[in-house]
Homo-oligomer: A and B are copies of this chain.
Amino acid sequence: MPRISKSASLIPASAIRMLTPFADKAKADGVKVYHLNIGAPDIKSPASALRALADYKFDHLPYSNSAGTLELRMSLVEKYYSKVGIDVCTDDIIVTTAGSEALSFFFHAACDPGDEVLAMEPYYCNYNTLARMNGVSIRAVHTDIRDGFALPSSEEIEKHITPATKAILICNPSNPTGTLYTKAEILAIGDICRRHDLFLVSDEAYREFCYTEEPYFSVMQIPGMENNAILVDSASKRYNLCGARIGCLVSKNKEFMALVMKFAQARLCPPVLGQVAAVGAIGTDDSYFEAVRKEYIARRDFTIDSLNGIPGVYSPKPMGAFYTVAELPVDDAAVFCKWLLTDFRLDGETVMLTPAEPFYSTPMQGRNQVRVAYVLEIPALRRAMHILEKALELFNKVQL
C-alpha cells in the first residue's frame, strides 16, 4: 500500500468543520441545529448579483483570463476600491477562487518553506493549513480575551520577529474575535513591517462589517508601503455570496504579483459564474451595506448581552465582523461543543459552536473559549442563547 504524505498527516483537521459529521447525524435524527459555528450568513445577496447571473447567457462556458475577467477587475477598481479610498488599477488585482486561494497564493509567492508569518492569536485557523501547504509556519503573538483582544505594543510584536519572519498577517476586522484595528494601530503595524522589510498582509473579508463611526483604514492606504502591503479580499461575506468562491489578491508590488500570476496561470482561471455574480454584486448601492450593518449591530448587541447574561460566560464587545470569542464555564470547550451535538437536546433542538482552541498556536490557550457567529435572525439567536444557557447548566451537572 502506498504511503500517504507524512507532512499532511501532521496538519490538524479544520476546527470549523471537524464537528460537521456530528451535526449531520443530529439533523438526520430530526434534531434542529442552530448554526452559530460558521460564518454562513442568512442575509440576501444584492438583487443586482442575481440579475447579473440571470442575464448572463452562454452556450458554452470558456475560461476567463487567469487574473480574472477585465470586467470584474474594472468593477473592483471603479465601483469599489475607488469609493473606499484604495487607489489601485486593474493590474494590481488578481481574482482568486475566494479569499482562501488568495491566501494560498500569498504563502507560495512571498514565502519559502521554513519561513514564518506572524499573526495575532486567536486567528482564523485555516491560515495554518494554507501556510503549511508551503511549509510555512504561523507564529502567534498572543492577544487576550480580558483585554478585548487588543493589539499588543509594537515592542511586544517585534519580540516575535526572527530572521525567518516574512510577513505579518492580520484579519481586520478579525475572524474569530471581531476586533477592529484603528488607523493608528494599522500605521503602527505598517511601521514594524517597513522597518523589518516584511510584507503586511491584511485579510479584509469583513471590512464592510464595522460598527464604529470612524472610517475603515486599509493597509493599502498606508503611505509609502506599496511594496509591503498585500490585501486579501473576498466577495463571500460582503455580498453573501460564499458559494460563488470569488476573492482577490491586491498589491502594487509588481515582482510579487508576477509570481502570483504563475500560480494563477497554473490553475487556469477563477470560477466564471461567480465572477459574473460578483460584477453584479459590486454594482449594488450603499444602502445594501447600511441595511446589513444595521442588522448586524442589532444581532451583535443581542448576542453579546445574552452571552454575558449567562452565568460564567464572558464575551468582549466586538466592533466588526460577525463573530465573537466567548469564555464558557467549562474546562474543554471542544468536549462541550461535541456534547451539544451528540447528547444535548432542548425540545429537540441544539446549538452548534466552534471550539476556539484551534484558533490559538500557544498550547492550552483558549481551551474554555468558543467562537460564536451571530449569523441568524434575532428570534433564532434568542432561542439559541436560551439553549446554550440550559446546556451549560446541565453540562456542568453531568460532568461532576
User: What residues of B have a CB within 8 angstroms of the CB of A64 in the complex?
Assistant: 243
Asked if A100 contacts B262 (CB within 8 A), the reply is no
User: What residues of B have a CB within 8 angstroms of the CB of A193 in the complex?
Assistant: 2
Asked if B42 contacts A262 (CB within 8 A), the reply is no
Q: Which segment, of A154-162, A264-272, A360-368, A382-390, faces chain B?
A: A264-272
Using a CB-CB cutoff of 8 Å, which residues 220-271 of chain A contact chain B?
227-228, 240-245, 253, 255-256, 259, 261-263, 265-271
Asked if A240 contacts B60 (CB within 8 A), the reply is yes
CB-nearest residue of chain B relative to A12?
A: B262
User: What residues of B have a CB within 8 angstroms of the CB of A109 in the complex?
Assistant: 4-5, 8
- Tell me which of B63, B245, B253 contacts A40 (CB under 8 A): B63
Asked if B5 contacts A111 (CB within 8 A), the reply is yes
Interface flag for A291 (CB, 8 Å): no
- Tell me which of B9, B63, B227 contacts A242 (CB under 8 A): B63
Asked if B166 contacts A61 (CB within 8 A), the reply is no
Interface flag for A316 (CB, 8 Å): no
Interface flag for A43 (CB, 8 Å): yes
Q: Which segment, of A130-138, A301-309, A325-333, A336-344, faces chain B?
A: A130-138
Asked if A2 contacts B197 (CB within 8 A), the reply is yes
1/0 per position for A28-56, CB-CB distance to B under 8 A?
00000000001011111100001001100
Asked if A45 contacts B61 (CB within 8 A), the reply is yes
Interface flag for A295 (CB, 8 Å): no
Interface flag for A294 (CB, 8 Å): no
Asked if B273 contacts A277 (CB within 8 A), the reply is yes
Q: Which segment, of A13-21, A169-177, A180-188, faces chain B?
A: A13-21
User: What residues of B have a CB within 8 angstroms of the CB of A241 in the complex?
Assistant: 60-61
User: What residues of B have a CB within 8 angstroms of the CB of A112 in the complex?
Assistant: 5-8
Q: Is the interface of A mostly helix, strand, loop or mixed?
A: loop
Q: How large is the interface on A (under 10, 10 to 19, 20 to 34, 35 or more residues)?
A: 35 or more
Asked if A11 contacts B272 (CB within 8 A), the reply is no
User: What residues of B have a CB within 8 angstroms of the CB of A53 in the complex?
Assistant: 53, 273
- Tell me which of B3, B44, B166 contacts A197 (CB under 8 A): B3
User: What residues of B have a CB within 8 angstroms of the CB of A135 in the complex?
Assistant: 113, 135
User: What residues of B have a CB within 8 angstroms of the CB of A1 in the complex?
Assistant: 197, 227-228, 253
Interface flag for A199 (CB, 8 Å): yes
Known: A60-B44, A268-B100, A269-B245. A228 touches B14 (CB 8 A): no
Interface flag for A198 (CB, 8 Å): yes
Q: How far is the CB of A117 from chain B (nearest CB, A)?
A: 12
CB-nearest residue of chain B relative to A11?
A: B262
Interface flag for A203 (CB, 8 Å): no
Interface flag for A97 (CB, 8 Å): yes
Chain B CB count within 10 A is highest, among A64, A256, A263, A273, for A273
- Tell me which of B2, B272, B277 contacts A228 (CB under 8 A): B2
Interchain residue pairs with CB less than 8 A apart (5): A4-B255, A129-B262, A130-B267, A244-B273, A273-B273
What 10 A-B pairs come out closest when comparing CB atoms?
A: A243-B272, A14-B265, A129-B266, A273-B273, A271-B271, A61-B243, A100-B267, A60-B240, A17-B265, A245-B271
7 additional contacts, CB 8 Å, given A44-B60, A50-B59, A242-B268? Answer: A8-B259, A45-B59, A45-B61, A61-B242, A61-B243, A98-B268, A134-B134
